[in-house]
Structure 1
Amino acid sequence: MKLLAIEARQNATYYVSRYQQVVGLGADVYVLNGEGTDDFWPADRYRIAGSRAVTDLIAAAKEWHAEERFEGVFTFSESGVLAVAAVAEALGLPGIGLEAARASRNKLLMRQAHERGNAAHPSFRFVTDEHQALAAAEEFGYPVIVKPTLGAASHYVFRADDEAELRERYTQAAQGLTELSWYAMEADGLDLGPHGLLVESFLDGDEFLIEALAWDDEVYLGSIVDRVTAEGDTFDDDVHHAPTALTPERIEAVHEVVAAGARAQGLVRSVMHAEVRFHDGRPHLVEIAVRPGGGGLDHMARVSAGYDPIAAVADVARGIRPRAGHYAPTGVHTAAMCLLPPSSGRIGAIHVPDEVAGRDDLFFLKLTAKPGDLVRRPPEGNSILGFLGVTGTSFEDAMSTAEELAAQVRADLIRPQE
C-alpha cells in the first residue's frame, strides 16, 4: 500500500518515528512537506512543495499521485488536519471532509458543534479582549480555563483562580497567539475558523485520554488512559496510567459522550483522540482530535488494551475498517510521563543512563529535544524533553518505576544568551 503523509511545515523530526511505524506495518510511506529540510525522509519518497500554500500542496500531491497512485493521505500533526482533508478531497481519496476537519481543529467551532449536538462540554466564550474574558469568568465562576482556538500540546493553556490571575494569564495567552508554533505550521489559504482565545468553565473531576475510532454508525473506545497528576495553573499533561480505573458504568457514560461529540463534529470514519473530564459526576468533552494522541499513548494503547492507533490511521486513510472493538484491557499495567526540562533555557546536553535505556520494562523512550534547542516552560511555552513509558505488575509498581527512571534523565541548560 502506498500512503502519502503531509505536513505543511515540518515539525522538526517529531513524526519520523510514527512514519516508521507505518512502514513497519507494510506500507510504502511517501512524505510531502510544504516547507522542510532536505534530509527528512528517504529521497525517493520525499518531496518539498516549497510553500505552505494549500494550492501548492495540492498541486504537488496531484503530480505525485499521477506517478504513484496513492491509496490514502494522512497526518499525525494537529496542524495538518485541514491540509490533509483538502488534499484527500482534491485527489479523490478517503477523507473526513473540510467541514468536519475544521470543526475538529478549531476549538471554538468544536465547542459550538458539541453545543448543537448535546454532547456535554464546559461553558465557553470566545473573547477578543480582557474585558470580555473577565465578564465570561464572572458569569462562569472561578476557576476558568484560557486556551487558544488553534493551539495544541497545552501551549498557552492556563487555569486562572481569580481576577488578578486571569488578567495575567490573559495577557500571556494573547501574546502567545503571536508566536504559537502550531498555528504557524498550518497551511496557508485555508479557512481555519477564528484564531483567538476561549474562556471556559473549569471541569473539576478526573481526566481520561482515549484513543478511539468512528466507523459508520459506531464509535469504539480502543484505549482509555487515566491522567494521574493534578495540574496547577498550567497543563503539563505529564503522568498517565493504564488500564483505566473507571468502572464499567462510567466507561459506558464516557462512550456515550465521545460518540455524541464525534457525531456533532461530523465524523463518520475517523481515528480520534478524545480527552474527557468528569464534572458533577458526569463526563464532559475537553476535545476530540482527528489523529492519534501524542507522546507514548499509541504504545500504551497497544500494551494495555490491544488497540493500535497507528495501524488504524493507515487503514482509515485507505477507507478500510481497522481492527477495533470496544474497550478490552489486557491486564498489563503501564505508566508514562513527559520528561520535563528544569526550566526555560537552551539545552547543552541530555543525559540518558545506559541502565535506563536498557531496561526490559521500558516500552517507550523518545527524546524530542536535542542539544542546542531552546526550551520554554510555562508561561512562555510548554516544551518537553521527551517521553518515557514502562510496564509493571500493578498501578503502584508501574508508577514507581516510571518516576524512578524519569528522574535519571537529565538536561543541562545553558543561558539563552550563551
Structure 2
Amino acid sequence: MRLTLEPRAPHAAPGPLPRLREAVVLVDGVLNGAPFKEACREAGLPVIGVYTFDRQTLEAMSPQHADGDAVSLYGNDPHRITARLKELTDMVAAVVPATEPGVCCAAEVAAQWGLPANPVPTAAACRDKRLMRELARRTGIRVPAHEVVREAADLRAAARRIGFPLIVKPATGAASHNVVLVDAERKLAGALAEDRRDLFGSVVDEWLVEEYVQGTEYAVNTFTVDGRHTVVDTWQYRLPGTDDYDNPYWDFVQVDEATTARAEVERFALDVLDAFGIRIGPCHVEIKLDASGPVLIEIGARLPGAGIPLQWQRHSDWRPYHDTLACYLGHRPMLADRRPRFDATVGMCFIRNDGPPGVLRCLEGIDQVAGYAGVEEILTPFRPGDSVPRTRDLGTELAKVRLSAPTGQALESLITSVRRTVRAEIVPDPTG
C-alpha cells in the first residue's frame, strides 16, 4: 500500500510540518481511536495516527478517524512508516495497536524503535487465522479441525473431510464478517462470499473450513505487563433459549460467578498467551468449551470491540485506554498487580433479523426499553425505511443494547425484559 502523509491541523500552512518533540504512534485508531486519543491528550502527548487498511473501507467505517491526530499516515510498510516517523518526531514514546489489522505493523514499528511490544515473530498469528491455528497446534493448544481452501471448487471435498456442521470463515477478518455456519452439504453453495474482502477491506485469498465445535463460547479478556498475565473478566455468548450457539451476536454477558467452567477457560486463556509469546497489553481470547475441554477460536492482541472497554470504564476501577497507554509507555498500571473491581455485572443483547431481508418498518418498544433501569445505551444502525439484511455479523443487527445490573441473575432478567418488549416489523422490499 502506498504511504501518504496528511497534516490534520485545521488550515495547516503549506510546507514542512513542525517537528514534534515526542509522540505516541496509534496504529489503526478507528473503532477504539477516540478514547485512546483522549488518554494521550491527558498525558500531554500528541498522536501520530497510522492507518494500515483499505482507505475506502476506512473512510466508510470511520469518516472522522483522523480527528485528534497531529499527523496521519496511511500505509502498512513498517520500514517506510519508521522512516517517516524519524522525519516527524524526535522521539516515539510508544506504539499502540488499537484495532486488529494494526497488531503486526505496531509490533514491527515498535521493534525498530526499541519500544515495548509483543514479539514480531508471533504477531501475525494474532491476526491471520491460518497462522493462528498452526502456532497453536505446534505449542499444544487445541484448535478446531480445519482445512484451508482457495476456491469454491475445493469446498465440497474439504467439507466432507471435516464433517457437518462446519464453519466457513475468511483467513483474516473480525466481527463474524462473511463467517457462515453450514449444517448440511446442500447448503454449501454460496458459503464463500462473492465479496472477497474481509471486514477491513483486505483481499481474502483463502478460507478456513473448520469443525463447528458444539459447546459454550467464552471470551476471556486479559492484560499483560512484562509477561505477567492478569484476567480482566470473562464473558459468555448466550442464546435466548437452550439451543447450541451458532452466532456470536445474541446475548453477550459478563460471568460474575466463580464456576468450574470459568476457571477452566481462564487457565486455558493464560496458556494461549504464553504459547503466543504475549508480553504486553490487552488481549481478547475467544474459547469454546465442549465435553473434551477448551478449544481456541481466536486471539486478538488488542482491546476487545463492541464497546466493552467503555462498559469497563463505567463500572470498574480501571481505565482500559489509559492503562494500555501507560503500559506501552513503560509504566506499571494497576492491572499489573490485581484484577479490576466491578460495581455491576455488564453485558449486551442484540435484536436480530432472523428472517429474510426486507425493509424495516419499525422497532416497536425500543423507546420503552430506553427507560428501563440498567439500559445504558441503544445503538440502532438501521432506521425505519432502511433495507435490512438477515443478521449474520456485527453491524447487521437491528439494535445493540448495552446493559448493567447488580448481579448476573438480574442482568439475565433485564435481557429477558428487553427481548419481550422489542419487536421488529420487517416487510418485503418492493424493489426486490
Shorter-chain TM-score: which interval?
Answer: 0.7 to 0.9
1:278 Cα deviation after fit = 0.4
Q: Per the alignment, do residues 27 and 202 of structure 1 end up closer, same or farther by CA in structure 2, a change over 3 Å counting?
A: farther
Give unmatched runs, 5+ long, in structure 2.
1-21
Residue 251 of structure 1: which of 262, 267, 284 is its match?
Answer: 262
1:189 is matched with which residue? none
Map Cα deviations across residues 327-368 of structure 1 (whole Å, 9 max, x no partner).
Answer: 576473323123556875799999997765566623445566
Map Cα deviations across residues 149-207 of structure 1 (whole Å, 9 max, x no partner).
Answer: 10100111122112222x22xx332424x1323243x9xxxxxxx84111222221111
| Partner Cα separation in structure 2 for residue 355 and residue 107 of structure 1 | 42
> Is the 1:22–1:310 Cα contact (8 Å) retained in structure 2?
yes
| Partner Cα separation in structure 1 for residue 391 and residue 349 of structure 2 | 17
1:191 is matched with which residue? none
Larger Cα Rg: Structure 1 or Structure 2? 2
TM-score, structure 1 length as denominator?
0.78
Q: Identity of counterpart residues, as a percentage?
A: 19
Residue 411 of structure 2: which of 372, 392, 398 is its match?
Answer: 398
1:180 is matched with which residue? 198
Matched, 1:156 2:178: yes
1:105 Cα deviation after fit = 0.5
Residue 277 of structure 2: which of 266, 269, 274 is its match?
Answer: 266
1:62 is matched with which residue? 86
- SS of 1:315's equivalent? helix
Higher alpha-carbon deviation: 153-162 or 48-57: 48-57
Residue 396 of structure 2: which of 360, 364, 383 is its match?
Answer: 383
| Partner Cα separation in structure 1 for residue 378 and residue 46 of structure 2 | 23
Map Cα deviations across residues 10-62 of structure 1 (whole Å, 9 max, x no partner).
Answer: 85xx3344335635864645252444669736867342335555555444433
Residue 223 of structure 1: which of 211, 233, 238 is its match?
Answer: 233
Q: Where do residues 336-351 of structure 1 align in structure 2 (5 Å cutoff)?
A: 336-338=348-350, 340=352
Q: Where do residues 12-411 of structure 1 align in structure 2 (5 Å cutoff)?
A: 14-19=31-36, 22-23=39-40, 26=43, 28=45, 30-34=47-51, 35=55, 40=64, 45-49=69-73, 51=75, 54=78, 56-66=80-90, 69-130=91-152, 132-165=154-187, 167-168=188-189, 171-176=190-195, 178-184=196-202, 195-229=205-239, 235-245=247-257, 247=259, 249-301=260-312, 306=317, 308-324=319-335, 325=337, 330=342, 332-338=344-350, 340=352, 361-366=374-379, 376-377=389-390, 383-384=396-397, 387-402=400-415, 404-405=417-418
1:124 Cα deviation after fit = 2.0
Q: Per the alignment, do residues 284 and 311 of structure 1 end up closer, same or farther by CA in structure 2, a change over 3 Å counting?
A: farther
1:369 Cα deviation after fit = 6.8
- SS of 1:182's equivalent? coil
Letter in 2 for 1:92: G
> Is the 1:344–1:376 Cα contact (8 Å) retained in structure 2?
yes
- SS of 2:71's equivalent? strand
> Is the 1:143–1:161 Cα contact (8 Å) retained in structure 2?
yes
1:224 Cα deviation after fit = 0.7
> Is the 2:37–2:68 Cα contact (8 Å) retained in structure 1?
no
Letter in 1 for 2:327: V
Q: Per the alignment, do residues 120 and 50 of structure 1 end up closer, same or farther by CA in structure 2, a change over 3 Å counting?
A: closer
More helix by share: 1
- SS of 2:89's equivalent? helix
Letter in 1 for 2:71: R
Map Cα deviations across residues 286-313 of structure 1 (whole Å, 9 max, x no partner).
Answer: 1111011111322444567655443342
Letter in 1 for 2:301: V
| Partner Cα separation in structure 1 for residue 75 and residue 430 of structure 2 | 30
- SS of 2:334's equivalent? coil
1:142 Cα deviation after fit = 1.9
| Partner Cα separation in structure 2 for residue 344 and residue 53 of structure 1 | 40
> Is the 2:37–2:47 Cα contact (8 Å) retained in structure 1?
no
> Is the 2:357–2:428 Cα contact (8 Å) retained in structure 1?
no
1:277 Cα deviation after fit = 1.0
| Partner Cα separation in structure 2 for residue 242 and residue 300 of structure 1 | 11
1:190 is matched with which residue? none
| Partner Cα separation in structure 1 for residue 243 and residue 399 of structure 2 | 19
